[in-house]
Structures are given as C-alpha cells and as structure tokens.
Chain A
Amino acid sequence: MIEVQNVEKSFYGKQILHDVSATFKAGQTNLIIGQSGHGKTVLLKSMVGLHEIDSGKIIYGDQVFSEMNFKEQKSIRKEIGMLFQGSALFDSSTVQENVMFPLDMFSKMSKEEKLERVNFCLKRVNLENVNHLFPSEISGGMQKRVAIARAIALNPKYLFCDEPNSGLDPKTSIVIDNLIYEITKEYGITTIINTHDMNSVMGIGEQIIFIHEGKKCWEGTKEEIFTASEERLNNFVFASELFKTIKNNLK
C-alpha cells in the first residue's frame, strides 16, 4: 500500500500540486486521471522520488519514503517498477539486455538464471524471439511490453505506469491494459496508472482518483463515475460524444 498525505509541489514559484492525499491499495489497479498539464505526472514522479515534494508525506507500507535520503530509499526503490510514457528503453541495448539490466545491477543470479528470468518475463508479456533486437527495431506496443517485462524483472511490489497507452492504437492499448491488470492480480502489486484514456478507466480502473488543477477533486470506482455529481469530473470523462451517449443510455 502507498499513502500520499497532504502533498504539495511547486516549480519556480508555480504551485502544481495542492494538498493531495490518497491511498493506493495493494493488488488493485489505482488510476490517476485528469487533463494534461494538471499535475498527474508530477504526482506520479513525486511518488517515486524523481521530484522532491515541498511538504506532505509519501509512505510505502510503514516507511516514510519522502523523508529518506537517496541511499535510504534504495531498498524501496528496488521494489518499484516503472513504465514510462515513451517506454524509456535503453537505445543502445538489446531487448534482452534491457530486461536483464535490473538483474545485472541487483541480483546475484548466474548468467543462466538471469537469462531464464528474462525469457520468463518476456514470455509473460507475450514476447518471444525478440531477445536480440534493439528497441528501434520493434513496434511501439512491443516496446511497452518490453518495458513492462523490465519493470517486473525483480518482482516489484509497486508498479507505476505513466500514460501506458500513449501513442498506441486502441487494440494494442487494450492488450497493454489487460497485461498490467493481470500482472497486478497475479503478483498482488500496488499498481498506479496515470492516464487520460477513458477506455483504460472503464476497462481496468478499480480505484480512480481525479486530479484537476493540482487538486484531488474526486475518488471512486469506475461504476461510480457514471453517477458522480462532480461537475469537473463529468466535463472531463464525458467530453466525447461516445461517452455522453453511453451515459445517456445508462440513464
């Protein structure tokens, strides 16, 4: 479980996050939704320690992550897997080397054991026979799957996904969403997904937090979204004609 308590963050005098508090439970997909530029990525990056917060607390289990220094955070960081918007695979390394990277750095496995683990992770994300290809030689969807394989290589307790579907076609997006959902359930991971893709929200959103102008405005489940009275949430969720029609039909 991850807890965010009264987090505030500003850049160059401009406040981005205002008193954000939330709890993200283990074994479920926690979604942070909101418009672009409203602080979702800042919140996510603050949670993994890429941004230092101005005030508040970020707690992993019972450890206050935000009050630790880089060295102290190491043990928690090893339990974090992250899927970046642009995959963030190492260009100069092959798929195999990318997935093996965390194992090379933190495990004491033999080369054979590491290779076995790499192949297992790649198979888990439905990728085979791509070990020796470079990221530039595979499609965007495959790159995301390699990034997921890298993120789960060390059996993480926490998985962060920053807009995992950006740049993907709807069909591939569903594949990626389902993969994240299955992995979350399979390993009991605390998964936090940043997205503005409503298909993801309706598909895999178990706990949803809506961020607007850096403030948490709403929290609930995907079923509750349809009956929510929060105007800013409705303006965001039902901005498209498709979702407006679905809502009207449900009424």
Chain B
Amino acid sequence: MKFLEEFGRYINFLKRVFAKPEKHSVFVKHFFNEAVLLGTNSIGIVLIIAVFMGAVITLQTAYNIEMPFIPKYTIGLAARDSILLEFSSSIVGLILAGKVGSSIASEIGTMRVTEQIDAIEIMGINSAGFLVLPKVMAFMIMMPFLVLLSMGVGITGGWLAGSLTGVVPSADYIYGIQYAFIPFYITYSLIKSVVFAFLISTISSYQGYFVKGGSLEVGKSSTKAVVTSCILILLFNLLLTQLMLA
C-alpha cells in the first residue's frame, strides 16, 4: 500500500517536473549549468573506472582462455562485447547513481529544509519543474556521452593491460575488437544509459524534494536515492536486455 502511495506521488511529481518551463531563457541557462555539474564534472570518475574495468576484463578473460586452440583475438572480442553490452552502461550507471544521485538528492533536500523551495513556490513558480527539469534533461543528454567515452577508454584500458602484461599481443587484441562487430550493441547501450539517467535524476530529485526535517533527513534521503536508483538500474537493465536483445 505504501509503495502504491509513493509511486502515485512520484508520478504526480513527474507531471509537475515536465510542465512547460516558466521562462525559456532561464531554463536554458540552468540546463547548461547542470550539464557541466552533472556531466562534465563526472568525466574524471568515468575515465578512471573505465580504464580499470577494461584492464580487468581483458586480464580475467585472458586467464580464463588458456586453451591453445582458442585464438588470442577472442580476448579482445570478449572484452569489447562485455564493455559494450554491459559494463559501460551498467557500471557507469551504478557509479553515477552514487555520485550524481546523492548530489541531486542532497542539493534539493537542503533547499527544501532551508525553505529555499518555499521561497520559489511563493513567487508562483513551479519549483519542481524549475529545479528538476534542467537536471533531468541535462543528465539524459550527457549520460550517453559519458557511456561512449567509457566504452572507448575501457577498450583502450584492456589493450594497455593486455600489451603491458603480455597476455595478449597488441595485434591480436586490435583484430579481436574489430572482429564480428555488431553496431547495435552501441545503440542498445546508449538507450540503456538514457533510461538509467532518467531513473537516477528523477528518483534522486524526488527523494530530495519531499524531505521533511533537517540535515539528518537530507542525509537519509540521499542514501535512499542512491539505493533506490541502483536497484531500479539493475531491474531495468534486466528488462531492457530482454526487450532489446532477446
């Protein structure tokens, strides 16, 4: 029963979020600010995660394929497909649920408990739309770029690890990442990233927007935002995979 109540409130919240912006010029300004805050400022962590993720996938694949009749280029192929299909979108999604999700929930939650949202509302401005829409739109546009970046860097990380440790020759790895390439895998991953961005930004905003109390509750809402986003990312990952790849 509580779940239905919460879900209904979330849907009503979304209706307010996706209302027509109060002033177009202000929305555009906020949109670009959020694109920098949520997108550009996440490049660093995405790069670090991607390079290590690619390296580990390559090494693990190499150590598990030790049979002489399996060609070495299979390591590159497996690393590429793992990164494109799963790791780039899902792992980056989960990491950003922590970084971006907690930041959104705590920012909006703090605005709620310090009456900044009331101050906006009193002026007759739809505070949900004003505060949340630029974040949602900016993150949904920036996240696919972050995922694309992580794909490139992840595959490069795999090549570096494979070459430096000598587990896979450079030529074999490069041949492997080009072998039997299916471009749809990238589309699939990008579609997932847009859905994950929507989930992270709306759930975190929702958790922050309805905070009651003080700083302790803001912290709790931030944690709840991250946990809920992560669970839903995993659930939607399963659903989208079944829908798009089955």
Q: A104-B23, A104-B26, A105-B26 are in contact. Are A86 and B123 (CB under 8 A)?
A: no
A49→B119 CA distance, assembly (Å):
11
Q: B124–A74 contact, CB under 8 A?
A: yes
CB within 8 Å of B: which A100-152 residues: 102, 104-106
A77 to chain B, nearest CB (A): 3
B198 to chain A, nearest CB (A): 24
Residue of B nearest to A77 (CB): B124
A70→B124 CA distance, assembly (Å):
7
B100 to chain A, nearest CB (A): 16
Residues from chain A with Cβ under 8 Å of B111 in the complex? 90
Determine if B122 is an interface residue (Cβ-Cβ < 8 Å): yes
CB within 8 Å of A: which B1-46 residues: 22-23, 26
Determine if B114 is an interface residue (Cβ-Cβ < 8 Å): yes
Q: Which of A50, A90, A91, A106 contacts B122 (CB 8 A)?
A: A50
A45→B126 CA distance, assembly (Å):
17
B21 to chain A, nearest CB (A): 11
Q: A88–B125 contact, CB under 8 A?
A: no
A91 to chain B, nearest CB (A): 7
Residue of A nearest to B118 (CB): A50
Most buried by A among B26, B115, B118, B125: B115
Q: B123–A70 contact, CB under 8 A?
A: no
A66→B74 CA distance, assembly (Å):
70
A49→B125 CA distance, assembly (Å):
12
Q: A105–B22 contact, CB under 8 A?
A: yes
Size band of the interface chain B makes with A: 10 to 19
Q: Which of A77, A88, A104 contacts B116 (CB 8 A)?
A: A88
B135 to chain A, nearest CB (A): 13
A77→B123 CA distance, assembly (Å):
5
Q: B114–A88 contact, CB under 8 A?
A: yes
Most buried by A among B23, B114, B115, B122: B122
A104→B119 CA distance, assembly (Å):
15
A70→B119 CA distance, assembly (Å):
15
Q: A104-B26, A105-B22, A105-B23 are in contact. Are A78 and B119 (CB under 8 A)?
A: no
Interface string of B117-141 (1 = CB under 8 A from A): 0110111111000000000000000
Determine if B193 is an interface residue (Cβ-Cβ < 8 Å): no
A45→B123 CA distance, assembly (Å):
13
Q: A49–B23 contact, CB under 8 A?
A: no
Q: Which of A75, A76, A82 contacts B119 (CB 8 A)?
A: A82
A184 to chain B, nearest CB (A): 18
Residue of A nearest to B16 (CB): A70
30 A-B contacts (beta carbon < 8 Å)? A45-B118, A48-B122, A49-B121, A50-B118, A50-B121, A73-B124, A74-B124, A75-B124, A77-B124, A78-B124, A80-B122, A80-B123, A82-B119, A82-B122, A84-B115, A84-B118, A85-B115, A88-B114, A88-B115, A88-B118, A88-B119, A89-B116, A90-B111, A90-B116, A102-B123, A104-B26, A105-B22, A105-B23, A105-B26, A105-B123
3 closest cross-chain pairs (CB), A and B: A77-B124, A74-B124, A88-B115
Given contacts A82-B122, A85-B115, A88-B114, 18 further A-B contacts (CB under 8 A): A45-B118, A48-B122, A49-B122, A74-B124, A75-B124, A76-B124, A78-B124, A80-B122, A82-B118, A84-B119, A90-B111, A91-B110, A91-B114, A102-B123, A104-B26, A105-B26, A105-B125, A106-B123
